């Protein structure tokens, strides 16, 4: 069910990008190829960031409860502890911000902490 909702959202976002670009083109009839490329890149980067964010969050949801299992500390090898969820903001290659909510883990022995990869 979630996949169908995501597919519909992505389809709607894609249509919005296409419509936005058509409106942009009408408003910029003298645009050069470089101008057009820049405008398309901006729109596509925004769409790309939302897709990345959706897919990354779906990975966590697909893992059942969303709770991470503690892993071995990469620094000292001891068992890490889950310390609750935290928000992390990242920047895509296209310069757009993506927000991920992940369970944060820390090592009670050496203090190392991180967001486990998904």
Give this prediction's pTM. Answer: 0.64
CB 56 within 8 A of CB 100: yes
Q: Can you give the pLDDT of all 118 residues of the chain as single tens digits?
A: 577 887 888 899 999 999 999 999 999 999 999 999 999 999 999 999 988 888 888 765 555 444 567 788 989 999 988 888 888 888 888 889 999 888 888 999 999 988 765 4
* Residue the block writes with tokens 């050069």: 32
How far apart (Å, rounded) are the C-alpha atoms in residues 118 and 115?
A: 9
Could you tell me the two tokens for 91? 């920047």
């Amino acid at each position: 069910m979630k996949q169908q909702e995501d597919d519909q959202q992505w389809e709607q976002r894609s249509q919005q990008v296409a419509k936005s670009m058509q409106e942009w083109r009408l408003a910029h009839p003298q645009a050069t190829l470089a101008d057009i490329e820049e405008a398309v890149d901006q729109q596509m980067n925004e769409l790309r960031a939302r897709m990345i964010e959706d897919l990354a969050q779906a990975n966590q949801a697909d893992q059942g409860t969303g709770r991470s299992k503690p892993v071995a500390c990469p620094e000292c090898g001891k068992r890490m502890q889950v310390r609750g969820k935290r928000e992390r903001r990242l920047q895509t290659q296209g310069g757009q911000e993506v927000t991920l909510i992940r369970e944060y883990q820390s090592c009670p022995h050496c203090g190392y902490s991180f967001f486990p990869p998904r």
